[in-house]
Amino acid sequence: MDSSNLSSLPEESLEEELEQPPQRNEAPLPSAYASVPLRPPSQVPLNPLSKLECGTGPPAESYNLSEEDNSWLVARSSLQKYSPLDWLGYFDEEKDIPIPDSNDVFHVYMAGTEGPVVFCLHGGGYSGLSFTLSAGKIKEKARVVAMDLRGHGKSSSENDLDLSVETMCNDVLAVIKEMYGESPPAIVLVGHSMGGSVAVHVAAKKTLRTLAGLVVVDVVEGTAMASLIHMQKILSSRVQHFSSIEKAIEWSVKGGALRNIDSARVSIPSTLKYDDSKKCYVHRARLVETEQYWRGWYEGLSDIFLSCPVPKVLLLAGTDRLDRSLTIGQMQGKFQMVVVRHTGHAIQEDSPEEFATLILNFISRNRIGPQGVEIPGLRRPLQSHSQQ
């Protein structure tokens, strides 16, 4: 989970500014997730204000806009700035993976057709779409699968509040088995924050025989354990209700949770659900109610990470996050550490291009192919020829 500053922003709803707009005929903003239509669609040509919004008309000053017009236009432009974006074009498809002998159904997003599988696990409160923008580049040389963990995104389970690391590990292994059977391709586990803990524990089980690499994103035992005492306060003090999805996206960016607007526009809608009783959007993951499992995510994580018998890389947003065990392990060359500058906790969202490049370089450097490590020059023996 992100322990960055998530202080509340004033809920100055953009919809309030649009309740009594100037009387004009205009089409609503196109959005797959639009929560409230701005006004009925119209077949009449767009007026000059619409051209101004689209950047196709003369500059604003030439219209001599009234204060009311200008205020309305600014509000509409801001709403458009934070409108949701679709994941299509980055991921190729989505699937529901039912788990036999249970009522659990896990949702996955998939991209790419060849190479090893980069299997992505998101952090607490995020979703599989947290990896959307980076998946668009990773899929050029590898396959990508991003899973919604239980209690998150579009996944459904018998107990959405059982976020114990053991349960989530079993979920991941069950999904991989259902997707690939008994002969899965080479898999590189990538986990962010809480998902990083799950990835480490899955790797440490040594039951996934085609596991070829492990990438942990911005989670270190020492820092994570120290932050747990503040987590309830952080979760409770964040904005809980949003009048629209656009307001939630705006809050995530202005509050500092995410620094990349485009990534927020794709990922944030999947972290929300509409509450009919409250007539607003609320957070999908009920993290406040899962406190009993938090310590288990991170306790002993550094030593478990170091014990995993596969190539490993730790991506960090700051060098001060290394604890003693990892510092020693890094000096001994047990894993690679990369510090990604100018980013927040969600490195894969804030700097998707750099993140994707780091993943592909990791795969290339460790020679991970579709079936595992590929050794250059190793070929099948040539069929013997008869002596001349």
| Both structure tokens of 167 | 């349960």
Active-site hit among 218, 244, 252, 351? 218
Active-site hit among 122, 152, 201, 345? 345
Let me know: does 326 contact 302? Beta carbons within 8 Å: yes
Active site residue 302: no
Instruction: Calculate the dihedral angle through the C-alpha atoms of 349, 350, 352, 356, rounding to the nearest 10 degrees.
Output: -90
Active-site hit among 31, 155, 193, 252? 193
Phi first, then psi, for residue 35 (nearest 5°) are -90, -35
Report CA torsion sign: 297, 301, 304, 310.
positive
Residue among 165, 178, 145, 127 at smallest CA distance from 284: 127
Active site residue 193: yes
Let me know: does 319 contact 339? Beta carbons within 8 Å: yes
Cα angle value 370/372/378 (rounded, 5°): 100
CA 78 vs CA 17, 69, 74, 81, 260: distances in Å? 11, 14, 6, 5, 16
Hunting for tokens 């120290």 — which residue is that?
226
Provide the total of helices (H) and of strands (E) in the chain, helices listed first.
Answer: 14, 12
CA atoms within 13 A of residue 82's CA, in its CB half-sphere: 23
Active site residue 130: no
**Which residues are marked as active site?**
193, 218, 345
